[in-house]
Amino acid sequence: MKIKLLLQSIFLFISQTCLAADGQPQKWQTGFQGAATPVMRQITEVHDMVMLLVLCIGGGVIGLILYSVWRFRESKNPKPATFSHNTTLEIIWTTVPILILLVLAIPTFKLIYFMDRVPPVDMTVKVVGHQWYWSYEYPDHGDFGFDSYIIPDEQLQPGQPRLLSVDNPVVVPVNKNIRIIGTSEDVIHSWAVPSFGVKKDVVPGRMNETWFRAEKEGMFHGQCSELCGPQHGFMPIAVKVVSQNAFDQWVKKSQEKWG
């Protein structure tokens, strides 16, 4: 019984640290937030592959160090070796890193191109960064817009995470290609939502572009990820992913409210 409780506790700890829930960070979390888009899923896969290679290389290096300490210890080799180099070893330790870099380069470049390639879009959302809040516009749905501010601690409702909740979240339909075009009114900000694998700088005088396709409904949180002033940590991002029917109803209400 005690062993069963111990295993359950270990599994719970791992689920809270390495297998974080979607949408927001968790206490003691060490891994990525759950992937909610194809981009974030590929980012996670590339990360896992790189970490596996790092563990293999690190283990190999540590193994060689321990072997060298044991094999060439003073008691067994009282007379030091006099050779200065080994051509075969030099070829190996030059060739192997090149092969490792090629193994890393192929999926990395595929991921970069996939992130940068904006597919045929279903709708566009314009993002404008301000000191210190976000503005959003929906040019494909009557061109209405609204501001999004952080909810102060004293106004938080049960279930709303501190420093991540906003009064007016972005609302988008599930399983639709959403193009984000972003700019800034004052300084450089960065629109980032970890579960989407999105992090795009918004720069004054420029219009940057990115995209995502949320594959599950729910509330997903992010933050400005570019130091933009004393209240940089108080301009969170919240994206609410809903069904197409719920989105259409929200658009009608929003047109009346902000149109």
pLDDT in the model for residue 6: 55
Query: 0.95 cut: is pTM over it?
Result: no
Instruction: State the chain's mean pLDDT as an integer.
Output: 89
For 91-114, the pLDDT digits (tens) are: 998 999 999 999 899 999 999 999
pLDDT in the model for residue 84: 78
Mean pLDDT, range 52-59, rounded to an integer: 93
- Contact, 163 vs 233, CB < 8 A? yes
pLDDT in the model for residue 143: 84
Sort strands 123-130 and 178-184 into parallel, antiparallel or unpaired. parallel
Percent of the chain with pLDDT over 90: 75
For 168-215, the pLDDT digits (tens) are: 999 999 999 999 999 999 999 999 999 999 999 999 999 999 999 999
- Rounded (10°) CA dihedral 222, 225, 227, 233: 20
- Contact, 190 vs 223, CB < 8 A? no
pLDDT in the model for residue 15: 46
pLDDT in the model for residue 9: 56
For 244-255, the pLDDT digits (tens) are: 999 999 999 999
Per-residue pLDDT band for 18 (boundaries 50, 70, 90) equals very low
Q: Give the chain's domains with CATH numbers.
A: 38-116 (1.10.287.90), 123-258 (2.60.40.420)
Q: How many whole angstroms separate alpha carbon 228 and alpha carbon 207?
A: 18
Q: How many whole angstroms separate alpha carbon 224 and alpha carbon 227?
A: 8
pLDDT at residue 19 above 50? no
pLDDT in the model for residue 22: 65
